[in-house]
Amino acid sequence: MTSSAGTAAGVLVLAGTPIGRVEDAPPRLARELAEADVIAAEDTRRLKRLTTDLGIEPTGRVLSYFEGNEEARTPYLVELLEAGNRVVLVTDAGMPSVSDPGYRLVAAAVEADIEITSVPGPSAVLTALAVSGLPVDRFCFEGFLPRKAGERSRRLADLADEQRTMVFFEAPHRTEAALAAMADAFGADRSAALCRELTKTHEEVVRDGLGALAAWAADGVRGEVTIVVSGAPEAGPVDDPATLVAWVADQEARGVSRKDAIADVARRAGVPKREVYDLVHKKGAV
């Protein structure tokens, strides 16, 4: 068991940065950046623009920390933390480690028993969820979908029965293809919201079925995109033997073990596992 208080002299600060308007920056952000011993930034040029907009001049060292050097630079940052430095980690927008660099450093800091805290800030995930108009009582964040069509389709097939509201990030030039793939996997009528340029001057939220959104995106989409998709409706009990057997076969074809497939199908159908087991093995014996 580890404690978030830690025992090391240094402190790692995960600092949320604006996803659009600089005035959304939390008040504490300016102080942390101004007083940090070290600032690890995903893009040092964007950090410079941010500090200028905040009216501050950092006195500490500024180091780049992005996907390309994250693995190599993490041990060095841990050394700095162990030496007693206050290290502030910022990404281009939003909270570090949420589809941005940071998780690797946090995990290493936890392992080294270093104190970790945060400057809570804007989040595209929560902002999109809040304005989507879709259920927010239960949700999951799925990040970016795979770029390759086959891998993307398999990922979405695995989510077809997800009953929680789902939040995705997507690149603008892949948005139409992603929405079309979602329509194929979840149904063209599944309710969704496409949130573009959240909190920025050209903010736009389009709410419709996935099929209609894919058609809307065919003309091109610009800016940062977050897609919110309603979860699958809760199904009532399914007692058709052929349907239950077909569901198990479909899961097995995707690499799921028969035992796990039977358990999952029983849960989804609202029937005892033994009933599904008997149906599957009876068919196999025919």
Q: Are residues 245 and 276 in the same domain?
A: yes
Q: Is residue 224 part of a domain?
A: yes
Lowest mean pLDDT among 27-36, 84-93, 251-260: 251-260
pLDDT at 264: 78
Q: How confident is the model at residue 283 (pLDDT cuts 50, 70, 90)?
A: low
pLDDT-derived band at 285, boundaries 50, 70, 90: very low
Q: Are residues 192 and 269 in the same domain?
A: no
Query: Do both 217 and 280 map to the same domain?
Result: no
Tell me how many domains the chain contains.
Answer: 3
Overall average pLDDT of the 83-106 stretch: 92
Residue 3 resides in a domain: no
How confident is the model over 163-170, as a mean pLDDT? 96
Q: How confident is the model at residue 284 (pLDDT cuts 50, 70, 90)?
A: low
Is 214 part of a structural domain of the chain? Answer: yes
The verdict on 114 and 137 lying in the same domain is: no
Residue 116 pLDDT: 96
Rounded Cα gap, residues 115 and 9, in angstroms: 8
What's the pLDDT at 286?
36
Domain with 179, as residue range(s), is: 125-229
> What average pLDDT score do residues 223-236 get?
87
Per-residue model confidence as pLDDT tens digits over 176-218: 999 999 999 999 999 999 999 999 999 999 999 999 999 999 9
**Residue 5 domain-assigned?**
no
Q: Are residues 190 and 92 in the same domain?
A: no
pLDDT tens, residue by residue, 110-158:
999 999 999 998 899 999 999 999 999 999 999 999 999 999 999 999 9
> Using 50, 70 and 90 to split pLDDT, how confident is the model at 6?
very low
Domain containing 105 — which CATH number?
Answer: 3.40.1010.10
pTM: 0.76
Query: In this structure, are 142 and 111 located in the same domain?
Result: no
Q: Between 264 and 10, where is the model more confident?
A: 10
Residue 2 falls within a domain, yes or no? Answer: no
